[in-house]
Structure 1
Amino acid sequence: MKQIEIFCNNTKSTHTYPMGTSLLEISQDLNIKLRNTLCGALVNNQVKELSFCVVKPKHIEFIDVTHPDGLRIYIRSLIFVLYAAVKEVFPHVSLKVQNGISNGYFCELQGLEREISESDIFSIKQEMKALVEADIPFVKKGITTNSAVELLIRQGLEEKAELFEQQGHLYSFLYFLNDLGNYFYGNLLPSTGYISNFGIVPYFDGLLLQVPRRKHFHSLRKVEVLTKLFEVFQEQKDWAEILNVSTIASLNSFALQNKSGDIIKISEALHEKKIAEIANQISARNGDVKVVLVAGPSASGKTTFSKRLGVQLAVNGMRPYQISLDDYFVDRELTPKDEHGEYDFEALEAIDIDYFNKQLVELFEGKEVRLPKFDFHSGRRGVNGTTLKLGQGDILIVEGIHGMNPGLLTDVHNENTFKIFISALTQISVDEHTHISTADNRLLRRMIRDYNYRGYLAADTIKRWPSVRKGEEKNIFPYQENAHVMFNSATIYELAVLKKYAEPILKTVMENQAEYTESTRLLEFLSYFKPISDHEIPPTSLLREFLGGSSFVY
């Protein structure tokens, strides 16, 4: 039998195996021991499941849940087990995985027609444990698409079935757990026995599926009651119902019928209505609000939102002035450093808090101040030559990632502030069981903007993204519930528009680059969308901040 050469990055050694040897067999032969349960492998920088058989020379690296793609494999498999358990305990109830929240996944039991009880949670969890203990294999089968669609419809997975139909393939793959078929747009574990840690708890009117920590696998992520964030997710669910677009398949239907212009117009109108409502809340405070703080993670659209809010405040008879917290950075040598000795520009201490508060107090006292301007090339703060003096009806809009942090405004009374948290909370799902990560939405936005306006290739943006996300988890998201109001900057149609811009950028990442793993995942994700043209997107849209063509000056 023909021998195939592989290089294993885990052992830093080269080996030969008979053609058709599986990754699981190779891992066992090499006695691969990782920190946690083996989940899959990177094969030539592409994610593969352990049942994958090697037929050509490959570069292989085995991964567990400490790797982002290993954790994705674990979570997909866990959701399949949850689906199977719900099917067994409540045969006539549909599981709907709505969104990621509170370090887990919020799910609804549609058709239960009553509140979920502790007894229900216990029954589902016990059934999940039984499936795990039985160590049932996840079996991947290639069948005709017509057969796959019929099976999914029989199981009540109409949204998944419609998406399969839209792909136009003669054959499709499904995973089977006993007789239940499903698909999760990515690889699964070899069997249910690989799942060793999970939790489910009641959460608002549904349940929260808890997943392990990446670096501390034997402990579950902490559950937080995020009331304001949950309300925004419920609002976006209502918007999706207004538009009759809740999944990729339903969005594709509008695109295929040349009705995407309707979706764009209504989505933009809903944004404008929401921004006007926020402006009205600020105006209703009878002039007490002197500063509006706008905060949010990277690529959430803070700048355009601030400008559009300024327009609505002007409609209400106020005179808004915009300030960026970035101009209040301390000089480069005074910037704090992280545990790796690198400058931590996202730490609160990177901002000259005293100077910022001093200028705010002077402005509120009616004094004229000279605004600073930070030079990112020299790493020094200077002045931009602009002076500002606030009069009656004037209001400041301050944009920056630390706007929700209670340590930012040390000398300004709470009643004089209004805090807005903005993020791109994706409004559609892939299907009944697969939500779309809000981080993926923002990564695509940032990648397009970086490429068009900052000269960065996709690999550059992907490489920086984990550091950006780490900073957000530390400095932004813990304070989001301090907001007076949250604004969802995502639009229902946008991923179908971003597809045209992102795909050619992602294709510049080469197979020998570490970022190839992420670029191929995102390309696979975008392949499910039918493209929508951006020609009907207005010049004031938040999306124009990333695509270009905005009527605002940045």
Structure 2
Amino acid sequence: MEKVTVGINGEEKQYESGTTYKELTDEYQSQYKDDIVLVQVDERLKELSQKVKDAKELKFITSMDKAGRKAYRRSMTLMMQKAIFNLSGDDEIGVRVQHSISQGYFCRLTKGDILNEEYLAKVKAEMIRMCKEDIPIKKWNAPTEMVLDLCREWEMHDKERLFHYRRNSRVNVYEIDGYYDYYYGYMVPSTGYLKYFDLRLYEDGFVLLFPDKESKKVAEFKPSHKLFCVLDEAAHWGEMLDCGTLGAFNDAITHGRSRDIMLVHEALMEKKIGEIAEEIMENKNTKFVMIAGPSSSGKTTFSHRLSIQLIAHGIKPHPISLDDFYLDRDKCPVDENGKYDFECIEALNIELFNDVMQRLLTGEEVQMPKFNFMTGKSEKADKLQLKEDEVLVIEGIHGLNDQLSYTLPSQSKYKIYISALTQLNIDEHNSLSTTDGRLIRRIVRDARTRGVSAKQTIAMWDSVRRGEEKHIFPFQDDADVMFNSALIYELAVLKPYAEAQLFAIERDCPEYIEAKRLLKFLDYVLPLPAEGIPNNSIIREFIGGSCFPV
């Protein structure tokens, strides 16, 4: 019998040809606390149902690893669809996965009048039954044209539009017991892996909940109603422009509607910024406009555009960056690895910030600080005095945290949370991660303005995300308003810039897997030239050509 040789944990192991990775992982599962759901073979991800091939190094991917978590959620969503299909009978009830919320996916049924606790309990019971039966999740590689015809037959019209623009002649389709669907990414090998989930009614739909910090325990449902409303508004904007999915937006590009969509969305965004400025104007106590949001959310451009709207409403704004209140570098805290932790709030001179703001609030002329990033020391900047018809526009990751501005009266602060919450989904069952949108923005901006490669940006992205989880997201509900900076057309514009950077990542780099995933995702998007984008657009902060100093 022919043998294959695989490097595992520093030693070479041999297996009979035809052995699956599932059989191989059964040998090692006892060494891992979390379920092994995928393998990484020489910097390429493989599903457990695939056959073992010669490899220098094999790593096990569990349900707590990033790729494993995605595979678990993807597979669970397919099992949920199959459960609803099993229960629907002749009613042909479908489900749409709208967006992420808490640690789950918010979904709506195509026939919402049947949704209640009793129905959801039946869906959950059916999912539990399928899990216990351990039904194989099979992958079929089929001609794209045939899948197009099947999508038409199954009335999956979003997928039909998506595959119309697919360049590859073949596509992978997944099956559970005769139910077929396309999914963007890898799957677990069977329903027996999908033990940990819950279903909860929420608003006019329901949420499919997953594990979070513990892989074998469903996360507590802690929805942000403000965030949900912003996400729902984004979805409404997408539907209003007939661009709720990538396929629909590709249709808009090919039919010459992209220019109109661009202008309408920019107008909607400007209208929203104007409404925020009007609310600030109407509250006479507001003196500090505090803006915070995660990486690549467009905070700088938003601050400038808000300032212009404030001027138009008769208010003079003074922009303030929290970066200028950093402690001298030799006083900055260090993390567990002994490196400077510039993202923790203790890296800021909180006492100085409060002293300066209090004196400005009383009308005193104050010497402002300026942090010199070259020397790592605080220096003196211009003096500033805050008059009656003026406000400070303060931007920084800790802007919403009252620990920063603990001495300032709450009525004097107007808090804005900004993030890029995309209006698009890939199709009716594959949501588009807002985190992916921000990562693509950052890859493009870092390469253009900082000389940082896509490889470097991807390498530090997990650290950036951990900082956001700790310092930004816990305070988002404290905001007076949430602003969505995502533009419906931006992926089409960012595509050629991002692809050029991602293709430069070599196959033997640890970042190659993530680069390949992003490239596969961008392959669904038709490109759109940057000409005609207004020079005050938030997307200009990333591709260049902004009228603002960003």
TM-score range normalised by the length of the shorter chain:
over 0.9
1:425 aligns with 2:424: no
Q: Which amino acid aligns with 1:281?
A: E
Q: Pick one of 404, 409, 413 that aligns with 2:409.
A: 413
1:354 aligns with 2:351: yes
Q: Is the 8 A contact 1:44 1:511 kept in 2?
A: no
1:92 aligns with 92
Q: Is the 8 A contact 1:200 1:210 kept in 2?
A: yes
Task: Tell me the SS of whatever aligns to 1:78.
Answer: helix
> Which whole-Å CA distance do the structure 2 matches of 1:133 and 1:212 have between them?
18
Q: Which amino acid aligns with 1:381?
A: S
Superposition map of 1:330-341 within 5 A: 330-341=327-338
Deviation at 1:265, TM superposition (A): 1.0
> Which whole-Å CA distance do the structure 2 matches of 1:341 and 1:228 have between them?
37
1:495 aligns with 2:494: no
> Which whole-Å CA distance do the structure 2 matches of 1:25 and 1:517 have between them?
24
Q: Is the 8 A contact 2:262 2:489 kept in 1?
A: yes
> Which whole-Å CA distance do the structure 1 matches of 2:31 and 2:146 have between them?
40
Deviation at 1:94, TM superposition (A): 1.7
Q: Is the 8 A contact 1:93 1:112 kept in 2?
A: no
Q: Which amino acid aligns with 2:544?
A: G
Deviation at 1:146, TM superposition (A): 2.9
> Which whole-Å CA distance do the structure 1 matches of 2:533 and 2:262 have between them?
7
In the superposition, relative to structure 1, how do residues 516 and 170 fare at CA in structure 2: closer, same or farther (>3 Å)? closer
> Which whole-Å CA distance do the structure 1 matches of 2:183 and 2:170 have between them?
16
Deviation at 1:344, TM superposition (A): 2.1
1:137 aligns with 136
In the superposition, relative to structure 1, how do residues 339 and 220 fare at CA in structure 2: closer, same or farther (>3 Å)? farther
Superposition map of 1:327-476 within 5 A: 327-384=324-381, 386-476=382-472
Task: Tell me the SS of whatever aligns to 1:167.
Answer: coil
User: How many residues align structurally?
Assistant: 548
RMSD: 1.6
Task: Tell me the SS of whatever aligns to 1:85.
Answer: helix
Deviation at 1:203, TM superposition (A): 1.6
In the superposition, relative to structure 1, how do residues 251 and 291 fare at CA in structure 2: closer, same or farther (>3 Å)? same
Q: Pick one of 200, 217, 230 that aligns with 1:219.
A: 217
Deviation at 1:154, TM superposition (A): 2.9
Deviation at 1:30, TM superposition (A): 5.8
Deviation at 1:32, TM superposition (A): 6.7
Q: Is the 8 A contact 1:34 1:63 kept in 2?
A: no
Task: Tell me the SS of whatever aligns to 1:173.
Answer: strand
> Which whole-Å CA distance do the structure 1 matches of 2:505 and 2:203 have between them?
42
2:149 aligns with 150
2:248 aligns with 250
| Residue range with higher mean Cα deviation, 294-303 or 137-146 | 137-146
What CA deviation, in whole Å up to 9, does each residue of 1:331-383 have, x standing for no partner?
22322233333322221211111111111111121111121111223221112
Q: Is the 8 A contact 2:101 2:223 kept in 1?
A: no
> Which whole-Å CA distance do the structure 2 matches of 1:140 and 1:547 have between them?
38
Deviation at 1:20, TM superposition (A): 4.6
What CA deviation, in whole Å up to 9, does each residue of 1:27-65 have, x standing for no partner?
345667322111011122122111222445453211111
Superposition map of 1:38-57 within 5 A: 38-57=36-55
Q: Which amino acid aligns with 2:248?
A: S
> Which whole-Å CA distance do the structure 1 matches of 2:18 and 2:249 have between them?
40
> Which whole-Å CA distance do the structure 1 matches of 2:338 and 2:220 have between them?
29
> Which whole-Å CA distance do the structure 1 matches of 2:348 and 2:129 have between them?
53
Which segments of 5 or more consecutive residues in structure 2 lack a partner in the other structure? none
> Which whole-Å CA distance do the structure 1 matches of 2:513 and 2:492 have between them?
22
| Residue range with higher mean Cα deviation, 84-93 or 242-251 | 84-93
Q: Is the 8 A contact 1:41 1:49 kept in 2?
A: yes
1:518 aligns with 514
1:548 aligns with 2:525: no
> Which whole-Å CA distance do the structure 1 matches of 2:538 and 2:338 have between them?
36
Q: Which amino acid aligns with 1:511?
A: R
Superposition map of 1:203-282 within 5 A: 203-213=202-212, 215-282=213-280
1:159 aligns with 2:158: yes
Q: Is the 8 A contact 2:286 2:411 kept in 1?
A: yes
Q: Pick one of 22, 25, 33 that aligns with 2:23.
A: 25
Which segments of 5 or more consecutive residues in structure 1 lack a partner in the other structure? none
1:318 aligns with 315
> Which whole-Å CA distance do the structure 2 matches of 1:58 and 1:242 have between them?
51
Q: Which amino acid aligns with 2:450?
A: R
| Residue range with higher mean Cα deviation, 217-226 or 487-496 | 217-226
Q: Is the 8 A contact 2:444 2:497 kept in 1?
A: yes
Deviation at 1:301, TM superposition (A): 0.5
> Which whole-Å CA distance do the structure 1 matches of 2:405 and 2:27 have between them?
59
Deviation at 1:296, TM superposition (A): 0.3
Task: Tell me the SS of whatever aligns to 1:431.
Answer: coil
What CA deviation, in whole Å up to 9, does each residue of 1:431-466 have, x standing for no partner?
111111111111111111111111111111111111
Task: Tell me the SS of whatever aligns to 1:166.
Answer: coil
Q: Is the 8 A contact 2:290 2:400 kept in 1?
A: yes
1:292 aligns with 289
Q: Pick one of 61, 64, 74 that aligns with 1:63.
A: 61
Q: Is the 8 A contact 1:292 1:418 kept in 2?
A: yes
> Which whole-Å CA distance do the structure 1 matches of 2:170 and 2:101 have between them?
35
1:112 aligns with 2:108: no
- TM normalised by structure 1 equals 0.96
> Which whole-Å CA distance do the structure 2 matches of 1:535 and 1:417 have between them?
38
